[in-house]
Amino acid sequence: MTLPSPAPPPLVQYDLLIRVRRRWPQPEFPIQNVPFRFGLRFTNKGEKPFPGCKFRDVHISGEATTKLALVIGGDYSLRDLKPRQSVKVWVSKENLPWDGPVMVRCNLVAPGMNIETYTRDPRSGDISKCNATNAWKNLWFVSRQMEVEQKRTNNLIMILTLLLVLEALFDVKQMRIDFLRWIAGVIGKVVH
């Protein structure tokens, strides 16, 4: 007579908030065809310490078409986290040839654990639960290179226009010369 095998131990439940992060002072969203470094920020949302795990299969894929995708291979280690503690794990430096909404996702390798993942909307700050266990996904955005360059050009034109108006109204060149003469006069009086 064989004894029935014991039931496997129940999976331990953990809650992680995961967000895409970029290095400061870069803009929040990457720009098409411009290299950027990104990582994931993990926060333990639970009340008990998280023992750590690995994550892999980081994908960035175009939302409009699934034909465009970037797969970043390799295993990344996530260290143990106390409740409410956060850690950033830098994943890769990449360059995306497309723009618009993209889906960023990864898989968590955590034997014996059931990890519920959450994501935060970058605009509203709302936190929502992902519909997958031991996996995470989040909608992100890649800015169109032409629009970013056009914005920079418009700002430069605006500054140039402002300078031209100030010069026309106040004769900025003459004011600069008068200011330098005044400084020279003050220095001359101090020296003598």
Residue 5 belongs to some domain of the structure: no
Beta strands in the chain (DSSP E): 12-22, 36-44, 53-62, 69-78, 86-94, 100-109, 113-120, 127-133, 135-142
Both 129 and 187 in one domain: the answer is no
Residue 63 belongs to some domain of the structure: yes
User: For 117-164, what is each residue's pLDDT tens digit?
Assistant: 999 887 788 999 988 889 999 888 899 999 999 999 998 899 889 878
Both 109 and 75 in one domain: the answer is yes
pLDDT band at 50 (very low <50, low <70, confident <90, very high): very high
Helix axes of 172-191 and 145-170: crossing angle, nearest 10 degrees: 70
Specify the CATH number for the domain of residue 52: 2.60.40.10
Residue 118 belongs to some domain of the structure: yes
Residue 1 belongs to some domain of the structure: no
Both 115 and 30 in one domain: the answer is yes
Both 137 and 173 in one domain: the answer is no
- Domain closes at, from 143, 167, 182: 143
CA distance 177 to 172: 9
Q: Taking the chain, what is the end-to-end CA distance rounded to the nearest angstrom?
A: 114
pLDDT band at 108 (very low <50, low <70, confident <90, very high): very high
- Domain that residue 82 falls in: 12-143
Q: Is the separation of the CB atoms in 142 and 100 below 8 Å? A: yes
Both 49 and 126 in one domain: the answer is yes
Both 73 and 130 in one domain: the answer is yes
- Interval 161-172 mean pLDDT: 77
Q: Is the separation of the CB atoms in 119 and 151 below 8 Å? A: no
Residue 2 belongs to some domain of the structure: no
Residue 23 belongs to some domain of the structure: yes
Both 31 and 125 in one domain: the answer is yes
User: For 56-77, what is each residue's pLDDT tens digit?
Assistant: 989 998 876 557 788 888 899 9
- Domain tally, the chain: 2
This prediction's pTM = 0.74
Peptide bond into 111 cis (omega under 30): no
